[in-house]
Amino acid sequence: GKFRVLGLVMDVSAHKLAELELARRRESLGLASEAAGLSVWTWEPEQDTLSVDDRFADWVGLPAGERRLTLSEWEALLHPEDRGRLMAEAGELLAGGLDSFDSTYRLRRPDGGWRWVM
């Protein structure tokens, strides 16, 4: 019999350009954060996870290769005096009451001391 091939073509140029721009921005952010001594993390509330970079992992002493924390694991790293305020700000951000927030707080170091971060 005869073969027929049906093909569909979609113009995804705008999507590809957006992907490339996002990759470029991530690379720029990574380079800038490295130069400035910053740590980069991503919070995904729906999955209850924080993805952190190598610098953050070193700051708090995560095991080698471990770069994901649950919110409760991150919360446990916070100084008790800072925890309530930060969790309230995070809740307000999720509820739409804040677009962003800047906070200075303490994270537990691997040696049990505290590291001030902003």
How do residues 46-58 score in pLDDT, each as one tens digit?
A: 888 888 888 889 8
What is the model's pLDDT at position 114? 93
CB 84 within 8 A of CB 91: no
Model confidence at 10: pLDDT above 80: no
CA 103, CA 88: separation in Å to the nearest integer? 12
Helix (H, G, I), strand (E, B) or coil at 5: coil
pLDDT, one tens digit per residue, over 14-29 is: 878 888 887 787 777 6
